[in-house]
Amino acid sequence: MPMPTPRSSLKAVLIASTLITAGVAGTTLPPTAARAEVPMQGYADLVARVSPAVVFIEVTAKSKEPTPMAGSPLEEFLRRFGEIDPQFRMPEAPEGGQVMHGLGSGFLISQDGVIVTNNHVVENATDMKVKLEDGREFKAEVVGTDPMTDIAVIRLKDAKDLPFVELGDSEKLRVGDAVVAVGNPFGLGGTVTSGIVSAMGRNINSGPYDDYIQTDAAINRGNSGGPLFDTEGKVVGMNTAIFSPSGGSVGIGFSIPANTVKDVVAQLQEKGSVSRGWLGVTVQGMTPEIAQAMGLEGRDGALVAEVQQGSPADEGGLESGDVITAVNGQELTERASLPRLIAAIPNGEKARLTVQRDGREQEITVTIGELTPHRAQVAAAESPEGLGGPLGIEVQPLEPALARQLGLPEGASGVVVTAVDPSGPNADRLAPGDVIQEAAGRPVETPRDLASAMREARGKGVMLMKVLRQGNPVYVGAEVTAS
C-alpha cells in the first residue's frame, strides 16, 4: 500500500485563488520570468497587447463537502493540503451542500474561445460566466480538467475572432528573469503586477507533480488561473498559489510552468482527460544517513520502499531497497523527480531505469503502464530523518495478537518498538508501534536478531532498517554509535 503524499510543511501557504463570496475558494500562482531586461518605459506596450486575452471567470458551484473557514483566505489551502487544525473546522454544510460563488482568472489561447484556467477555479461548477476586458460576457462550459496538476480547459459558447495569447517555453526561464502577471485579484478587474523569477522547480507538496515557478510578482486571491508573461508577451506560467501568513501577497508566489500547461491542455482538448505513465512503487527520499548506510554518499535518487504486486515495476524486476537514480538516462535530482518522469512516458512504452542494488549499478527495463484513478502513482513514503544508536528503544517480538491489533497482515514478522528514549538519538526517528523487519540487510524476527545486526553495524556507524509504520514500509538510516 502506498504511503500518502507528505503534507506540506508550508502551513502558511495560501492557495491564492478565486475570490470567495459564499465559500468557493481558489488558488493563485506567481508568474514566471522573461529573458529580456525590464524596459525603461515599463510594460505599457506589452500589457496593451496581451491584456485583452486575459479573462475574468465568475463561477457558481455546489459544495459537496463541509468547508473549513468558509470565506477565509486559508480555505482553499486547508482543503487542498489537509492542514486543518480542530479550531479551524466549521459546522457541516446543510444536506445536499450549499451554493457558492467565486471569481478567478484565465486566458484565451484560441480565437474561438478556448480558455486555460485552474481546475480549482471551475471545480464543481454548475454555471460559468466569463467577462473579457472589453466588457463582453459569455457563458462557458468545461472541456476537461486535471486535478493532479490543477489545470482546466473551458470553452466560450458562440465565440469567434477573439484575442488570444501564445504559450511560451518555460524551460528557457532563468532565475532573475523579469515577468508580468495579469489577473483579477479580489474581483477588482484587470490588474498588472511585475517581478522576477525567484526560483525554479519548487515543490510545495501539493501533489506528485509539483514543479512550480516561484516569483515575487504580487499575486492575490482571484489571480488563480491568470497568466504569467515574459517580456516578449509569451505565457510562461499560470498563477496558482502563494505563500502568505497574512492572506495577502508577501512576494512568494507559485506558477505552473507553461510547458506543463501545454502538455496537459493538449490532452484535455483532444480527449477531455490526461493519460499518465504508471510504475507502481512506493518511494522515499535519500537522507544522508540512508545514503551512508548504503554506501551511496553524495548520490541522489528515489529509494524503493515497496513494489506493488502485479505492477510494471514488479514485472520488470524492481525490488524493495533499490535506489532509482535515473530514468532513460535522465538523472534524478530528488525523489520528487521520479513521478514527473514516469508520468510523461506513454502507456506501453519501455523505460530504462538506472538502479543501485547491493552497492552495484545496473539497468532495469520496465514496460510502463497507464495510471488510472484506482492505481497509485509513484507514491511517496514518509522519510524519517534517520535513527540513532545504540538504538535507545525497547522492542518485543511481533506476536500474532499484536500484529492483528496493529492491523498488519497475517504472517507479518519483525519486532515492535514499544518505547523510545525521549532524550536518545532515535527520539525523532522511531515511534512506538513501528515494526522493524530488516536491519543491515538481514531479516529481523526477534530482539536478538536486531541486537546482532546492531553489533555488526557499529563499525560503519550507520545501519539501514526497513520499518513498517502504520502498515507502510519505509527505510530508515540508523546511526549506530559505540557504547
Annotated catalytic residues are 120, 150, 224
Backbone region of residue 436 per phi and psi (left: phi > 0; alpha: psi in -120 to 50; beta: other values): beta
Within its chain, how far is the Cα of 55 from the centroid? 27
How do 302-307 and 393-397 pair as beta strands? unpaired
Cell of 97: 451542500
Q: What are phi and psi of 70, to 5 degrees?
A: -55, 130
- Scan for cell 503534507, then name that residue: 7
How do 281-285 and 379-380 pair as beta strands? parallel
Q: Which helix (H) or strand (E) holds 472?
A: strand 472-479
Within its chain, how far is the Cα of 51 from the centroid? 30
- Scan for cell 471567470, then name that residue: 57
Cell of 274: 490526461
Q: What whole-number distance in Å separates Cα of residue 106 and Cα of residue 102?
A: 13
How do 137-146 and 151-156 pair as beta strands? antiparallel
87 contacts: CB under 8 Å, gap ≥ 6: none
- The CA distances from residue 346 to 242, 342, 366, 380, 451, in Å, are 32, 9, 12, 21, 47
Cell of 89: 473546522
Question: Would you call 407 helix, strand, or coil by DSSP?
Answer: coil
Beta bridge partners of 415: 397, 436
Rg of the chain's alpha carbons, rounded to an integer? 25
Q: What whole-number distance in Å separates Cα of residue 367 and Cα of residue 345?
A: 10
Cell of 109: 489561447
The beta strand positions in 338-471, using DSSP E, are 350-357, 360-367, 369-370, 379-380, 393-397, 415-420, 435-439, 442-443, 462-469
